[in-house]
Amino acid sequence: MSGNGRRSAMRRKSRETEVLVDLELDPASVFVEVDTGIGFLDHLITSLATHSGWGLRLACRGDLEVDDHHSAEDCAIALGETFARALMAGGKSARFGSAYAPLDEALARAVVDLSGRAYCRADLGLGGARLGDLSGEMVGHFLWSLAQAAKMTLHVDVLAGENAHHKAEASFKALALALRQASALPAAAAIGTGSKGGVSSQDAGECAGESTKGAVLLEEIDPALWASLASNIKKADDD
């Protein structure tokens, strides 16, 4: 992966899941490897990373014997945390981004502000759809969790569409294009400012606390150890 240094690798572990993320915002070449244990979620995250121009490796071991909720939610949180840290490594970015993405009959719009203020409004029209092993409601919840962890303001709307797969995928592609624009460095885009002046990314570190998840561990990892760590959590899945 090895680009200009905007890279972060994190491990997030709770009683319910363990997630590893290695993210590079400006890789020399796009490389995406995703294994969440949920096929359609892999598809969506792969699309997000590819169209954002990221180098991404993400692996998750979760309590899928319960349902898809914890794995999808915690993958979003871990990815959002890692994105925020990678963004900080490169100084100020363009901040604002917006994009449309069509997929056949579906059309989605995404608008992003990397403001340090967490907010998400996602109107995807998925209802109770089932997308492989992923419930439709978790697509919107993934976006909400991602925005909270990355401390970004995010609006995603499906403006047209009938097929649930198309609507979900178009949403992630629109988000990818908006994030690519918002996270661009000054050489690639004019920096957005407000009355507060330029906006720098804030530390999105999660406070470890007790809940039904138990104590949550969030730590930086060495990208060179990725393969062995990912292998370990997948072995735990098989045991």
| Beta strand segments in the chain, E | 7-13, 17-24, 32-35, 55-62, 96-103, 106-113, 119-123, 130-131, 134-135, 153-160, 193-194, 197-198, 217-220
Provide the CATH number for the domain formed by 7-238 in this structure. 3.30.230.40
Per domain, the residue ranges of the chain are 7-238
* Interatomic CA distance for residues 159 and 109, integer angstroms: 7
Average pLDDT over residues 115-134: 94
The pLDDT value given to residue 186: 76
The larger pLDDT score, comparing residue 28 to residue 208, is at 28
| Percentage of residues in the chain having pLDDT higher than 90 | 69
pLDDT value for 194? 53
Report d(CA 28, CA 49) in Å as an integer.
14
Tokens representing residue 224 in the block: 């060179």
- Residue identified by tokens 């490389």 is 31
User: Which of the two residues, 9 and 236, has the higher pLDDT score?
Assistant: 9
Q: What is the pLDDT of residues 65-104, one digit of tens each?
A: 999 999 999 999 999 999 999 998 877 889 999 999 999 9
Q: Is the pLDDT of residue 236 over 70?
A: no
Query: Which residue would you say has higher pLDDT here, 178 or 219?
Result: 178
Quote the pLDDT of residue 202: 40
Decide: helix, strand or coil at residue 73.
helix
Share of residues in the chain with pLDDT > 70 (%): 84
Using 50, 70 and 90 to split pLDDT, how confident is the model at 223? confident
Q: Could you count the other beta carbons within 10 Å of the beta carbon of residue 107?
A: 18
The pTM of this model reads: 0.84
Question: For residues 156, 38, 118 and 188, what is the CA-based torsion angle, rounded to 10 degrees?
Answer: -70
Q: How confident is the model at residue 200 (pLDDT cuts 50, 70, 90)?
A: very low
What is the reported pLDDT for 201? Answer: 40
Looking at residue 191, what is its pLDDT?
44
The end-to-end CA distance of the chain, in Å, is 31
CB atoms within 10 A of CB 207: 6
Q: How confident is the prediction for the chain on average, in pLDDT?
A: 87
Token readout for 111 is 């608008």
State residue 7's pLDDT score: 95
pLDDT band at 146 (very low <50, low <70, confident <90, very high): very high
pLDDT of residue 238: 63
SS3 content of the chain, % helix, strand, coil (to 5): 35, 30, 35
Residue 225 has pLDDT above 80, yes or no: no
Q: What is the pLDDT of residue 1?
A: 57
Backbone angles phi, psi at 21, to 5 degrees: -135, 130
